[in-house]
Amino acid sequence: MENILEVKNLCKTYIVYKRQNNVLKNVDFTIKEGEMAAVMGPSGSGKSTLLYTVSGMDSMTAGESIFCGKNISLMSEKELAEMRLDYMGFIFQQMYMLKNLTLLDNIILPAFQSKNNKLSRKEKQEYGRDLMRKLGIIEAADNDISEVSGGQLQRACICRSMINNPKIIFADEPTGSLNRKSSDEVMDELSKLNSEGTTIMLVTHDLKVAAKCTRVIYIVDGNIKGEYNLGRCENQAQLRERERTLNNWLIELGW
CATH number at residue 50: 3.40.50.300
- What is the mean predicted confidence (pLDDT) over 34-53? 94
Burial-class residue 134 by CB neighbours within 10 Å (0-12, 13-18, 19+): middle
pLDDT digit string, tens, across residues 60-108: 999 999 999 999 989 999 999 999 999 999 998 787 899 999 999 999 9
Tally of domains within the chain: 1
Contact 186, 175 (CB under 8 A): yes
pLDDT classification of 226: cutoffs 50, 70, 90: very high
Q: How far apart are CA 62 and CA 73, in angstroms?
A: 9
CA 80, 83, 88, 91 dihedral sign is positive
pLDDT at 139 over 90: yes
Q: Domain residues for 193? A: 3-252
Identify the CA nearest to 175 among candidates 79, 92, 55, 87.
92
pLDDT of 252 reads 94
User: For the whole model, what pTM was predicted?
Assistant: 0.93
